[in-house]
Copies of this chain bind each other. A is one copy, B any other.
Amino acid sequence: MSDALLSAVAAGVTVFDLGRTFFPGMPQSPNHPAYTHTLPRRHGDMVREDGASAANDMIVLGTHVGTHIDAIAHVSFGGKLHGGVDAYEAGVGGKYLEHGVHTIAPMVRRGVLLDVPRALGRDACEPGYEITVADLEASARAEVRAGDVVLIRSGWGRRFDDGAAAYVGKESGVPGISEAGATWLAAKGIHAAGADTIAFERLAPGGGHALLPAHNVLLVEHGIYLIEAMALDELAAADATEFTFVLAPLKLLGATGSPVRPLALISDPAAVVSAAAGSAAGGAAGGALAAGGAHG
């Protein structure tokens, strides 16, 4: 086995699952079609002559619900998408062939975690708190480099289990970066940025999404992808600073976003994939979600 990457995998990798479970009623912005899951066919509905039966699903959703990525086509400013593309013209035909989510290449890149509450010495940022440039610098225990994917943890993610009102935070406000933090990230030349909130941005209490300065700086001005509603607590609990970040958005032709399940991979000799873990037996609900190790 001469492939360096495959050798590194064989030597043990812990997989951190940064995506959330999708279920009807999960917290999401009311601006987007709600996630719905239903079974048009269940086992027993149609049994084949040999005794086999198949069950299947229908799902309906917006592409900005659950853990998801924003394509460049998602936001415009002054009638223009990133690069000066006319935003109205780009959508004629009912899909954004330019800057749609299908144009996002799979990401296998260096990732860096900025654990803001850790740097601030608290459990989580306050509702409506603006994460400053100083906070970002204090949180960056590994250097942020061009081409990186930067994940900003505010500690807000624990509210996901408290329901939509708590997590969406319209009344309370939501912590996040604003124009200054976005400018700092853009200057680093990063490839994508993620957060554990659904807005990515700092939202003022009661303010909702009236203004989205970080989206404008990152998506529109610099063509930097945004990943929202990530699950970052386990990665932070493992004290991770840098890692291999992997993300493969669905290639939904002309869409402005995609639901995703991002991964952070860290080499760990204790996490060698054993042959015995090769079946579904290792994938029980709520059990180990790691490909090799036990985190995520």
Interface residues of A (CB under 8 A from B): 1, 3-11, 13, 15, 17, 19-25, 30-34, 36-46, 48-64, 66, 72-79, 81-83, 87-88, 90-100, 102-110, 145-148, 189-191, 210-213, 215-216, 220, 222-225, 242-244, 246, 248-257, 259-263, 265-267, 273-285, 287-292, 296
Contacts and interface: CB of A to CB of B under 8 A. Distances in A.
A150 to B, nearest CB: 11
A220 B263 CA distance: 28
Copies of this chain held together in the complex = 4
Contacts of A100: 285
A246 B192 CA distance: 20
Which 9 pairs between the two chains have the least Cβ-Cβ distance?
A146-B275, A223-B280, A43-B87, A248-B261, A38-B40, A23-B253, A108-B291, A147-B278, A33-B58
A223 to B, nearest CB: 3
Contact of A283 (B66, B104, B109): B104
B242 A1 contact: yes
A9 to B, nearest CB: 5
Contacts of A281: 83, 223
B51 A56 contact: no
19 contacts: A3-B266, A4-B7, A8-B8, A19-B248, A21-B252, A23-B253, A25-B30, A33-B38, A37-B255, A43-B87, A43-B91, A50-B213, A55-B256, A58-B61, A59-B255, A83-B280, A146-B276, A147-B277, A148-B278
A246 to B, nearest CB: 6
Given A275-B146, A277-B147, A9 B109 contact: yes
B99 A280 contact: yes
A6 B278 contact: no
Given A94-B39, A267-B3, A72 B242 contact: no
Contacts of A73: 55
A62 B56 contact: yes
Given A53-B75, A279-B222, A289 B62 contact: no
